[in-house]
Amino acid sequence: MEYRNVTRSDLKAIGKRLIDRFSARKVWLFYGEMGAGKTTFIKALLQLLDVEDSVSSPTFSMVNEYFSAEIGPVFHFDFYRIESEGEILDIGYEDYFYSDGFCLVEWPEKIPDLLPENSLKIRISTHRDQRTVIIED
Kindly report the CATH number assigned to the domain that includes residue 40.
3.40.50.300
CA–CA dist 98, 1 (Å, integer): 26
Q: What angle do CA 117, 123, 127 make, to 5 degrees?
A: 160
* 51-91 confidence digits (pLDDT tens): 977 666 666 678 899 999 888 999 999 999 888 888 888 88
Confidence of residue 120 (pLDDT cuts 50, 70, 90): very high
Using only C-alpha atoms, the chain has a radius of gyration, in whole angstroms, of 14
110: phi then psi, degrees, rounded to nearest 5 = -80, -15
pLDDT of amino acid 24: 87
User: Based on the structure, what is the number of domains in the chain?
Assistant: 1
Q: Please give the single-letter amino acid code of residue 8.
A: R
CB 103 within 8 A of CB 26: yes
pLDDT of amino acid 57: 66
pLDDT of amino acid 60: 60
Residues contacting 7, CB < 8 A, separation 6+: 131
CA–CA dist 56, 117 (Å, integer): 27
Confidence of residue 30 (pLDDT cuts 50, 70, 90): very high
Domain residue limits at 102: 2-136
CA–CA dist 120, 136 (Å, integer): 6
